[in-house]
Amino acid sequence: MKKNAYFGLTIVIAILLVLPFVVPNSFYLDLAVRMAINAVIVLGLNLLIGFAGQISLGHAGFLGIGAYASAVLPTHFGWHPLLAMGAGAVITGALAALVARPIFKLKGHYLAMATLGLGIIINIALRNEAQWTGGPDGMPVPAMGLFGFELTNDKQWYWVVALLLSVSVWASLNLIDSPFGRALRALHGSEVASQVVGVDVVRYKVAIFVMSAVFASLMGSVTAHYVGFVSPNFADFFHSIELVTMVVIGGMASVYGSLVGAVLLTALPQALATFEGWETVVFGAILMLSMIFMPKGLVPTLAAKFGKGD
């Protein structure tokens, strides 16, 4: 790991430590928790999209599996929330691994289509199996407890997700500089060239896809417990697009870009609430403008401008 990468991590941890003491009220604390949750998901997705160069337009589906595992298993079968969370991750991992091999024979738009289709199928299933999932209305999620201690208020949740985020940033930085990460970046650069030097291209793609899917599933469970409610919208196409947008606006193949993207796009709907009725128009316009003027994303663009590496 490079020295300045550690420096960035220190800053992230410092911000996370100070934040709860400077936010004016619980509204902003709640926003901070949701930003941190999205940031972890986006970190995982950026490993897939930014570093390995593989697109997924169905990641909200994996989020949905995790969230609904945490809702359905404790409610209908009396499972412990942690066990349910683990089960969600296992189901997601297995599903991702099952479809990954045939999917990653595909490239570009065909890959986009396949992942999009997978996400939509998961969403439709969640919408339709009303006897388990509550259908389009969604269902409540029981509280997360551990050793008789229940996570109830926003402050407790904040420290949990802050810890998760710090660990994820540290793990991502390490992963990128590991042989695994170098292989991913190599296959992004040129698949043929990386094959020639002995990278098992499909195996690495499958591994990173499964990993980012499991990341998403775990954070889906966390969100479900935090919000206390799940609905199929959580797993819909638009949410998948939002996640991809966070990756791209922050900066592809940039760890800190993922954090910036997640923070900005989580805050944006709140900021747009003032444009009564025009939110969708303004949101769409911002997506277009930022991609037209900063196709590489915010952090890499700024980094290039000020002559510093990420």
Q: Which residues bind other proteins (CB under 8 A)?
A: 49, 55, 57, 99, 102-103, 105-106, 108-110, 112-114, 116-118, 120-121, 124-125, 128, 190, 192-193, 237, 241, 244-245, 247-248, 252, 277-288, 291-292, 295
Q: Which is nearer to other proteins, 165 or 252 (CB)?
A: 252
Q: Which is nearer to other proteins, 106 or 211 (CB)?
A: 106
Least separation in angstroms between CB 122 and other proteins: 9
Least separation in angstroms between CB 153 and other proteins: 35
Of 139, 136, 160, give the one whose Cα is nearest residue 73: 139
Of 240, 197, 82, give the one whose Cα is nearest residue 248: 240
Least separation in angstroms between CB 114 and other proteins: 5
- Calpha distance 273→98 (Å, rounded): 41
Least separation in angstroms between CB 296 and other proteins: 9
Q: Which is nearer to other proteins, 48 or 67 (CB)?
A: 48
- Calpha distance 294→98 (Å, rounded): 36
Radius of gyration of the chain (CA): 19
Q: Which is nearer to other proteins, 140 or 284 (CB)?
A: 284
Bridge partners of residue 149, in order along the sequence: 146
Q: Which is nearer to other proteins, 85 or 122 (CB)?
A: 122
- Calpha distance 24→30 (Å, rounded): 11
Q: Which is nearer to other proteins, 139 or 249 (CB)?
A: 249
Least separation in angstroms between CB 279 and other proteins: 7
CA 96 to chain centre: 15
Q: Which is nearer to other proteins, 48 or 263 (CB)?
A: 48
- Calpha distance 238→210 (Å, rounded): 21
Least separation in angstroms between CB 164 and other proteins: 26
Least separation in angstroms between CB 23 and other proteins: 30
Least separation in angstroms between CB 154 and other proteins: 30
Two tokens at 30? 């709640």
Q: Which is nearer to other proteins, 76 or 107 (CB)?
A: 107
